Structure 1
């Protein structure tokens, strides 16, 4: 799809070219070659004027270098043109006898006028020059090229505020922080930058405030949960005590996950070279020890740049999610171009297509009834997404045709490697 800047530039260029074409048509019409009858009238008028001049001053022929000779030979006379000029001259009331001579020069008219003494005066007149279509076309092409450059520059200037918006959106960090823009350039650009900076300041403050509130709430939940856990130990009925402790464990897990999510968003870890294959194998082995089914497929050695503990937490969440809800996970790791490609497949029931777009929302659950079977806060995928995107990667989840889910993680390689 064409961008707004491209369409605006094209509109300007088309408008300018259309105006030039209209102007060229009008110019050509105004400067068109006069019809032949009008030129016949002009020649008849000039011949009459020359006859009157030579009658009044016979010596004018020498002064004006007019040749006086005998009557031209009949084979030199263009009879059709002569008849036309004589007829037009008689209609205008002229008395000069004029003959048109054949000429080898297509841009000149040679005529002879009979004088009173029977001799003939020979004169030549230039033919109307043809319309300069080629120079006009070259001129219009030059103007069109210049106007195209001007239109492109004008559209760039006028569309720059919109381009700033697009670039700003593209540069938003995974934690939602918007970088401040330099308030320089034309007035429209400065106004746009100031507006975006004011918006960024408010949004950054709102995001930071929400993150602090979530972290504070998760932290403050710890104290009442500890008291409730102590009281639950004194419950006489063993089943009730276990139910209380199970609910408290889930609340503690929710609070801990919320705090981790906030930390991943506002406290990026130090970056270093990480052997992603070693991290993945470690995660698979640890999860297998908890009796969750995890199968290791082809795992190639790859190096990425990031925080090892954060990446391990992200991969653990994804693999646990597949092993728990997907009835088993199969992990594999490969390289494609300049990216490490990690795939996690499962054989579970999958996710309804209309809910796939919400899987990374905090506290999202496909089926709320699963909370009674599989404990969790619903923040695992959200935390994994934050970690992966903060490392410059992407994560996608789709339903497999064979059933189950396919989770694909792409992370930029630390450096180009050869197989």
Structure 2
């Protein structure tokens, strides 16, 4: 996962394991193993003296399992390394005896040295027997340290990044309407502080949206009265002046209505219903063609979505009218592609300059100079349509074709179970 928590955990664990590997490698290089030949020489010197003393003693000697003169060597597992080392040391000292080092069960290693009369001198080994080389123990130690380091780092990073993870989870739960569910203020002090900040931010954003809606609605309402008076006064103007004056008033009226509708779409909430998208598209195209727009449904496949019918109809009207007005002709297709309902609206106009495409959904943004001659409008049609589509769980994308502009709407397709409300609204 490409998250800060994952990256931070990988960085810390990798750093710790790197330090561990370097430290282990340097230890193996710098720490010299013990000189076992010197240990063997010391043991051989002690045995040589004890053998000489035992040769002079003819009486039986039995002080215990670790010190005695017996008829045979001590029992137990033969230890090859100390046996060979001590015998080599005795040979270097000119002795012909060959001892054996054994390890009886639950006892210290014992040296058995033959005497000239056939008896055996049994004495304990003065130093611990060197352990056999076990590389798997080193590997196991490294693996254990690595696992322990990884576990500690994961827990530490998880605790330290919990506020960021909380923010990420909150952002992921924001619905298309922009609503943020309250975050429980529990956990460590940092997590509680992050949750409190998120809740305060969500509350302030909601208040700001409501304030903007009330402001625009109030402004639109207050404009009605002076605009009505201006229409009355226009009746007393000469005919040649009255027409232009009334057209300007109509333009102001459309701008006020569009601004109010845009803000309402941004803050209006409501659950959608299951509806037939192809039926709504066909009805919208027929309606607009009847009033003189060049609109034709090129391909229509049956598909159902969940949305607010009246709002979606308004968005479709805006987009189809935009194509028919600025692009001379609108061709509409409806299809279901990989579980998503797709509506394509193509026109034959000049398209939109690529550098202006990222701005087409900005309120009051106009591209008349790129699309052809100026046409009436407030520059809010695409902004309203984009808000409606997004709040109904869909997406709206505009792209240029070799000849014309393509507007693509996509919604998650659902099983066809239209409610009566959806059927009535789509009809």
Corresponding residue for 2:68? 65
Tell me the alpha carbon deviations over residues 114-142 of structure 1, each in whole angstroms, 9 at most, x when there is no partner: 78x99884768574112432234224323
| Distance of 1:265 and 1:257 partners within structure 2 | 12
Q: Which residue of 2 aligns with 1:338?
A: 339
Query: What CA distance in whole angstroms lies between the structure 1 residues aligned with 2:182 and 2:168?
Result: 14
Query: Relative to 1, partners in 2 of residues 1:372 and 1:22: Cα closer, same or farther, differing over 3 Å?
Result: closer
Q: In the TM superposition, what whole-angstrom CA distance separates every residue of 1:239-285 from its partner, at most 9, and x where no partner exists?
A: x2211111111110011111111222222345222221111111111
Given the superposition, is the C-alpha separation of residues 46 and 212 from structure 1 closer, same or farther in structure 2, using an over 3 Å criterion?
A: farther
SS at match of 1:297: strand
Q: What SS class does the counterpart of residue 38 from structure 2 fall into?
A: helix
CA distance in 2 between partners of 1:416 and 1:248 (Å)? 45
Instruction: Report the TM-score when normalising by structure 2.
Output: 0.80
Preserved CA contact (<8 Å) 1:218 1:259: yes
The residue correspondences of 1:1-400 to structure 2 (distance < 5 A) are 2-21=2-21, 24=24, 34-48=34-48, 50-51=50-51, 54=54, 61-63=61-63, 64-67=67-70, 84-85=89-90, 97=95, 99-101=97-99, 112=113, 121=121, 125=125, 127-238=129-240, 240-367=241-368, 373-400=374-401
- State the distance in 1 between where 2:371 and 2:228 align: 26
Distance 1:85 1:243, change over 3 A: farther
Q: Which moved more, 1:149-158 or 1:20-29?
A: 20-29
Q: Bigger shift: 183-192 or 6-15? A: 6-15
CA contact (8 A) 2:350 2:403 kept: yes
> Deviation per CA, 1:20-55, whole angstroms, max 9, x where unpaired?
445655776899752342233332343256358748
> What is the CA–CA distance in structure 1 between the aligned matches of 2:400 and 2:238, rounded to whole Å?
47
Deviates more, 1:382-391 or 1:156-165: 156-165
- Give the whole-Å Cα distance in 1 for the aligned partners of 2:60 and 2:141: 44
Distance 1:31 1:368, change over 3 A: closer
**CA deviation string 1:96-154 (max 9, x = no partner):** 9574458899xx89674778x99884768574112432234224323433432332233
CA contact (8 A) 1:274 1:304 kept: yes
1:212-257 C-alpha deviation (Å, 9 max, x unpaired): 211211221121111112212221142x221111111111001111
Shift of 1:164: 1.7
- Hey, what's the Cα distance between the residues in 1 that align with 2:233 and 2:260? 25
Q: Which moved more, 1:198-207 or 1:209-218?
A: 198-207
Instruction: Please give the alpha-carbon distance, in whole angstroms, between the structure 2 residues aligned to 1:373 and 1:403.
Output: 20
Change (3 A) 1:43 1:276: same
- TM-score, normalisation: structure 1: 0.82
- Across the aligned residues of Structure 1 and Structure 2, the Cα RMSD in angstroms comes to 3.6
Q: What SS does the aligned partner of 1:65 have?
A: strand
Aligned to 2:410: 410
Asked if the contact 1:326–1:405 (Cα under 8 Å) also holds between the matched residues in 2, the reply is yes
Distance 1:380 1:45, change over 3 A: farther
Whether the aligned pair in 1 keeps the contact of 2:326 and 2:371 (CA below 8 Å) is: no
Structure-2 separation of matches of 1:251 and 1:371: 22
Alpha-carbon offset, residue 5 of structure 1:
1.1
Q: Distance in 1 between matches of 2:229 and 2:370?
A: 28
Corresponding residue SS for 1:210: helix
Change (3 A) 1:29 1:135: same
Equivalent pair of 2:163/2:194 in contact (CA under 8 Å): yes
Structure 2 unaligned segments of length 5 or more: list them: 73-82, 104-108, 418-427
Structure 1: which 5+ runs fail to align?
Answer: 70-77, 90-95
Cα deviation for residue 80 of structure 1 reads: 9.7
Distance 1:194 1:253 in 2: 42
1:416–1:59 Cα change, 3 Å: farther
After superposition, what is the alpha-carbon deviation per residue over 1:80-109, rounded to whole angstroms, capped at 9, x for unaligned? 97564565x7xxxxxx9574458899xx89
Does structure 1 conserve the Cα–Cα contact (< 8 Å) formed by 2:304 and 2:416?
Answer: no
Q: How far apart are 1:351 and its partner, in Å?
A: 1.1
Give the distance between the partners of 1:367 and 1:322, measured in 2 at CA: 13
Per the TM alignment, residue 288 of structure 1 is displaced from its structure 2 partner at its CA by: 1.2
